[in-house]
Chains A and B, each alone.
Chain A
């Protein structure tokens, strides 16, 4: 490996993650403390609802599964490798993950087209939104590309990328696991750190304030409290 490549690896896979996580925690906490009401996805569903469905739903279902997969393989790599010990189980896991990756991509492209083509939505889209969307697009394309060109990621991620990420967490970075990875995989890793870096400045912060109880709480119906036949008006 040349000295220049080593230098870039140190910059992108040692310095960048620490900068990204430091900024993430610092800005997320201070923003929540000082400007807590800006923690929002700033939903535009009220402005346009039909196209919104085919972007929002596939994107979120896809990304939630894919991100969960990355976290699980990082937390319990041995168990993931055990699951993948049978080729059929490996193939089922990989196909499911690829389908979710493609759903994410379809949803994201649909959301971006909506922001480009619907005038009301274009007005409420900031430059930072575009930065986040383009970063997400690069990340999802490189992720799907990695899955297709370099199978089987669920196994080699657990065996090679997870130890690297743990080494970052333990403040003892070990680049030997990823030094020889193909450029596309390295791009995907750097893209993840870039997204963590812009996360606290953007509307992505809504991930931190998901109203989880909605998952198990029974639906609540708001009813006007008025006598039958009375005209609709302000709730009493």
Chain B
């Protein structure tokens, strides 16, 4: 019995090792790949290959848990990172604590030693996109080509310039200039692979975009970004006018349908009944 007690903690450690690594990899895939690669070059955030050799580990553990706090206290490294990311601040990630930050850094160390990490990121050609790619992207955006994972079409919450009709949604940002904001095809594609904002994360965690959807969307956003600024919210105003028109039409219809309401109720019903029975 005593022997068993001595062995048990060891067994837990041995079993927990790979499990924690897998947990960290899954966590990284869900929360980090939208902005970081390991050996695939810079996206919105820096390439994390060998990051623990470039930066003090204790500082990294603290920063990962609350990036905004480091900015707020004027940490020079944090401020430089923000500048390099063109003002994009790493969000505070739900579920991040010291143990998870340590596990992530261990996983990044292990991945950095590999010739090619699983987190090297999407590799996208620099060749110009074709009009067909852009048209496919537009079909995906509007929902004309439904998303394979069953997620809602982009138009549900976003709009872009030149959409036509009543335009897109305004629950989430206008994506006309998203390509400019993300900086590159790789950044945008990686972001779509694992969206980092709370709303997108919740909606698409079980309904991820496929690479066949991401590439046309990147083509669309690259194209819309070239053509000028955002549309005014004209579609929104027209939508309100249509709604008001519909309500006014319904009121007219109610008035017409019940136009005899103050003249008679019982008499016409009796009359109709007699007519049916052939008494009139």
Contacts and interface: CB of A to CB of B under 8 A. Distances in A.
> Which of B150, B240, B262 has the most CB atoms of chain A within a 10 A radius of its CB?
B240
B156 interface: yes
Interface residues of A, number: 53
A152 to B, nearest CB: 5
Interface residues of B, number: 45
Given A91-B165, A94-B239, A82 B146 contact: yes
Contacts of B246: 95-96, 98-100, 102
Contacts of A147: 243
The 8 closest A-B pairs by CB, nearest first: A99-B246, A98-B243, A155-B156, A159-B152, A102-B247, A176-B202, A180-B198, A85-B143
Interface string A74-101: 0000100110111110110011101111
B164 to A, nearest CB: 8
B240 A98 contact: yes
B132 interface: no
Interface of A: 1, 49-50, 53-54, 57-58, 61-62, 78, 81-82, 84-88, 90-91, 94-96, 98-103, 106, 147-153, 155-156, 158-160, 163, 174, 176-177, 179-182, 185, 219, 221, 223
Interface of B: 92, 94, 142-144, 146, 150-153, 155-157, 165-166, 168-171, 197-199, 201-203, 236, 239-240, 242-247, 249-251, 254, 258, 261-262, 266, 269-270, 273
Nearest to B150: A78
Given A81-B152, A177-B203, A57 B170 contact: no
Contacts of B251: 54, 58, 103, 106
Given A99-B250, A106-B251, A160 B203 contact: yes
Interface centre among B143, B170, B270 (most CB of A within 10 A): B143
B143 A90 contact: yes
Contacts of A174: 202
B165 A151 contact: no
Q: Which of B151, B251, B266 gathers the greatest number of chain A CB atoms within 10 Å?
A: B251
A223 B270 contact: yes
Contacts, number: 142
B209 to A, nearest CB: 14
A110 B266 CA distance: 27
B138 to A, nearest CB: 11
B153 A84 contact: yes
A221 B269 contact: yes
Nearest to B92: A1
Given A95-B239, A99-B243, A221-B269, A53 B261 contact: yes
A101 B153 contact: no
Nearest to A50: B262
